[in-house]
Chains A and B, each alone.
Chain A
Amino acid sequence: MSAIRTPGGSPVRRRPSGDGRWAAILLAVPLLGLVVFYLWPLLRTIILSVSTGNPFLGYEITGFDNWVQVLTGDELPRALLNTLVYAAVVLLGVPLAMITAVLLHQRGLRFRGLYRVLYFLPVVTMPAAVAMVWRYIYNGDFGLLNEVFAAVGLPTTAWVADPRTALFAVAVVGIWMGLGTNLIILAAGLEAIPDSVTEAAMLDGAGPVRRFASITAPLLSPSVFLVSVLSVIGSLQMFDLLFVMLGRTNPALADSKTIVYLFYEEAFVRSDRPLGAVIAIVTLVVTLIVTAIQFRLQRRWVHYA
């Protein structure tokens, strides 16, 4: 690849070309997609959430009965709590990813590429396949994990069928699956930290731990923030792992159901689209609130160099 550079490295500046009509046209294309595939469905969802009817006869706006039914029901608070617990546990994957990223970034590490491939493999594996393998690992009667735990004298259980452990067992898989993506983002963040800063710290006599705490962690914090936000948004939408790993007659399901699982039950099992629409909007609002809180908190710990 050869790039033409202007002397002195400064890019050629163009004059603004008049009325910006081209910009408007080019921006309209993705905007159209946004309107057709996001804003319009969102509007329809909101209308659906205050309607009742039948898919064949159509839906009519009838008021907020659906909202009352969902908000006063006993299923939503439980699902919200489960979802937040799940998101919080999966968030523990961020420091894990950070440590792994720093270890992989070490100078002179052999087989770095191999490690990166290995850590990224879960990301490119089908979630359904991943869930099936983990189901076997977690199996209460014949599972690998129980074999290991029993051998070293730890307590065993049916990990994904025991209401006390199921959500956490699924969260471990969530962390494991998300690690690869988090690593990619954090590795890019590490690359962006200038060697000169690290070297200066070394000359000042800072050891590896001190360098991590005072140099790497603060300079990496924008990437860590991004990873955290994406991780939480993904967790709030968790459905597939629960669907494949627990199944509909699992005794732990009632205590592990997430909001999106609840949405699935209403909209697709019971075919009550309006109730599903209410839950979908609740999910959106919860996601907005949690993300807003994260943005508020980041002022305290994210350092933009």
Chain B
Amino acid sequence: MKWKALTLSGALAVGLLAGCTSPDAGGDDAGSGDGEQIELDFAIFSPDQEPAIQAVVDAFEDENPNITVNLQVIPWVDYWNTLLTTSAGGTGPDVAWMLGAKLGPYLEGGALLPLDDTIADAGIDVAGYPEPLVALYQRDDVTYALPKDFDTIGLWYNKALFDEAGLEYPNPDWTWDDVISNAQALTDPAADVYGIGAPLDPQATYYNTIYQAGGEVISADGTTSGYDDPASIEGIAYWTDMINEYGVSPDLQSFADTESVAQFMSGRLAMLYTGSFYAVRFASDEYASANFDVTELPAGPVSDVTVINGLGNVAFAGSEHPEEAAQLAVFLSSPEASQIQSDSGAVIGSYQDTQQAWVDAFPQFNVQVFLDMVDSSVVFPTSNNTEAWASRESELLTPAWTGEQTVEEAAGNLADAMNEALAAEQG
């Protein structure tokens, strides 16, 4: 049991973090107080997007020759802790990627710069961004980030498996019932093929169907859980039934061993609800590129909405150059930056009319649907301390997926835990 180097003693780990939070160290090491040459640190977590983001940064530096931007890629597993710890300790970056679900502690701590004036100075029309995503980064009418990109969820399917079963491909008029009946026809235990994948994945699966059933994850004012709403329960049961009632999806154990996307790409699943963000991976895989396509999400009892999410760029109040940091944060989400990112094919740029290049990058898939669905989208649900309850979702919903508990029971337990966390966050 000699992997001590990795398993820092718990006491030590927390202690070191606590020790790091004394706010005496200066932020930037640029060292030039004359306003001649300014250095800004900018943190992101995606190596895949690094080339596109570097191109955006280059464009910013061309426009602002007195500013040098150091782009830092911090791996996802370390990103949020590094960002929280270093920015709280005063050694963090000047500008960084942010997710709506992670925003709460930063706002509560007053750690972010308001960007409204800088946005106005840059002459950006905020109406050009998907409205729910703009609101995601606003509190009390103050904007702390603009969305730089977005992703929506679609129904991906394997044409080869539909052809073999002699079925027509899914189309935008499909309903939940169509998904279930087709999944039943596609499931072939002898060939180890399942009609659909039903992983326990909030953004890709049950968040969408909760809203499609007329339910909600969290109340509009962010104070109570929506998990005990009968409509929400119906939205979750759609997925658990796929496994426990209809047997058209592998079970949760199978997805724990081999993630749903990998099973889909190996031809084991005929359909999968997942995001626009997988277009790149599917296009670079020979089998997936030749056989996969995508359509809009099938309609539930109430609607056919999709969950929309997107990254924002925030600037930190602790920056030594707040003005320039705010300029950089706004530029990174500007229409120009949106265009550069869409051109790269890595993500859908957030600004209207800059997205065609992203669609054109995937001629083999009908990815236009991801843009079409923006008009009927709900924003990824968050609260001031999202992780406090979101981190309980998987654990408490698992018994519903494995069939040990009814969905009512599991969702009720989750609602209780979530309401407790939300009450704590109200103080």
Contacts and interface: CB of A to CB of B under 8 A. Distances in A.
A283 B394 contact: no
Given A56-B110, A177-B3, A231-B1, A280 B256 contact: no
Contacts of A273: 14, 17-18
Interface in B294-345: none
A38 to B, nearest CB: 7
Contacts of B391: 265, 269-270
Contacts of A160: 256-257
B106 interface: yes
Which DSSP category, helix, strand, loop or mixed, fits chain A's interface? helix
A270 B389 CA distance: 8
The residue in B13, B88, B387 that gathers the most chain A C-beta atoms within 10 A of its C-beta is: B13
Interface in B375-427: 385, 387-388, 391, 394-395, 398, 401-402
A16 interface: no
A56 B258 CA distance: 39
A140 B1 contact: no
B25 interface: no
B181 interface: no
B54 interface: no
A249 B394 contact: yes
A45 interface: yes
Contacts of B199: 249
Contacts of B3: 127, 177, 234, 240
B240 to A, nearest CB: 12
B398 A45 contact: no
A267 B13 contact: yes
Contact of A41 (B16, B257, B395): B16
Contacts of B394: 248-249, 253
B166 interface: no
A55 B11 contact: no
A42 to B, nearest CB: 5
Contacts of A142: 258
B109 A57 contact: yes
A187 interface: no
A144 to B, nearest CB: 12
B200 to A, nearest CB: 5
Nearest to B391: A269
Contact of A45 (B18, B80, B250, B258): B18
A235 B4 CA distance: 10
B33 interface: no
Interface in A257-305: 259-260, 263, 265, 267-273, 276-277, 279-281, 283-284
A95 interface: no
A100 interface: no
Nearest to B1: A234
Contacts of B18: 41, 44-45, 47-48, 59, 273, 277
Contacts of B109: 54-57
Given A55-B85, A249-B255, A37 B14 contact: no
A44 B19 contact: yes
Nearest to A43: B15
A44 B19 CA distance: 7
Given A90-B1, A234-B2, A234-B3, A271 B84 contact: yes
B254 interface: yes
Given A55-B84, A56-B111, A181-B2, A284 B258 contact: no
Interface residues of B, number: 50
B256 A246 contact: yes
B47 interface: no
Contacts of B253: 140, 157-158, 161-162, 251-252
A143 B257 contact: yes
A240 B9 CA distance: 12
B12 interface: yes
A60 interface: no
A263 B8 CA distance: 12
B398 A280 contact: no
A140 B14 CA distance: 36
Given A240-B6, A268-B81, A270-B391, A281 B108 contact: no
A172 B14 CA distance: 29
A36 to B, nearest CB: 9
A48 to B, nearest CB: 5
Contacts of A149: none
Contact of A237 (B7, B111, B201, B254): B7
A143 B253 CA distance: 13
Contacts of B250: 141
Given A57-B108, A273-B18, A283-B9, 17 more contacts: A37-B16, A45-B15, A54-B105, A56-B105, A141-B254, A157-B253, A158-B253, A161-B253, A161-B256, A181-B1, A230-B1, A231-B1, A253-B395, A260-B7, A276-B14, A281-B11, A283-B10
Q: Sorted from nearest, which 4 A-B pairs have the closest CB atoms?
A: A41-B15, A56-B109, A234-B1, A280-B10
21 contacts: A41-B12, A42-B12, A45-B11, A56-B106, A56-B109, A127-B6, A140-B253, A157-B253, A158-B254, A160-B257, A161-B254, A231-B1, A249-B252, A250-B256, A251-B398, A254-B398, A263-B10, A270-B385, A271-B84, A279-B10, A280-B10
Interface of B: 1-4, 6-7, 9-19, 21, 80-81, 84-85, 87-88, 105-106, 108-111, 199-201, 250, 252-258, 385, 387-388, 391, 394-395, 398, 401-402
